[in-house]
Amino acid sequence: MKKLILVLAILGMLSTSIPVFAAQQAQNLTVNMGVLARAKLTLGVSAINFPDADPDTIPSIAATENAVSVTAKVRTGLSSTATLTHRASGNLSAGPGITIPIGNVTWTATGAGYVAGTMSSSADVRAGSWTGSGSYSGNFSYLIVNSWSYVIGNYTVSSTYTLTAP
């Protein structure tokens, strides 16, 4: 009888002391992402205008549209440099042989990565650069040297900004 009681006691201890086993199971899920190079440039206006002015009182004419907003959005490599360049198609022209040198037009810049420059039709002029991806906002303000030597007329020229993300 004592043996039976002892056995039952041991069983009882076992039944009450067996812990509730913690159960755990894991499975993996792999997440992939591909990011390609891309660039997007947004200018606040598509044309700027320099109004007529007296060269003596206003030797440097500001564009009516100043300041022009600009946003360069780029995706590029971690250490890669995205660049923004500006190039005119020629001089300001009011007709055959009636021109104003494009080098008379300059711009100032605000915003991280943007730089001031002088327009050119013979070479790309750097207007901004950034290392790595991001969205970069700034402003350009355009000026033209005002000179008595300009022949009267309405001058125009096109220019192109190029944003490159390697």
Partner 1 sequence: MEIQPTFAQTITLGIPNPSSITFNDADPDLTPSLAANSTVTLSIRVRNNGGNNWRLTHLAAGDLSSSIPISNISWTVTPQPPFVNGLMSKSVAQIAAQGVGNVNPAQTGTFTFRIVNLWSYNTGNFSVVTTFTLSAP
Q: Where are the alpha helices (DSSP H) in 72-128?
A: none
d(C-alpha 132, C-alpha 163), whole Å: 14
- Cβ of residue 134: shortest distance to partner 1, in angstroms? 5
**Sites of contact with partner 1 (CB under 8 A):** 8, 11-12, 15, 18, 20-38, 40, 73-78, 80, 132-135
Residue 44 or 153 having the CB closest to partner 1: 44
Residue 11 or 47 having the CB closest to partner 1: 11
Pairing status of strand 38-43 against strand 68-75: antiparallel
Residue labelled with tokens 């509730």: 20
Residue 21 or 148 having the CB closest to partner 1: 21
**Three-class SS of residue 95?**
strand
Q: Is the separation of the CB atoms in 74 and 134 below 8 Å?
A: yes
H or E stretch at 85: strand 81-88
- Cβ of residue 68: shortest distance to partner 1, in angstroms? 20
- Cβ of residue 111: shortest distance to partner 1, in angstroms? 15
Residue 153 or 166 having the CB closest to partner 1: 166
- Cβ of residue 117: shortest distance to partner 1, in angstroms? 24
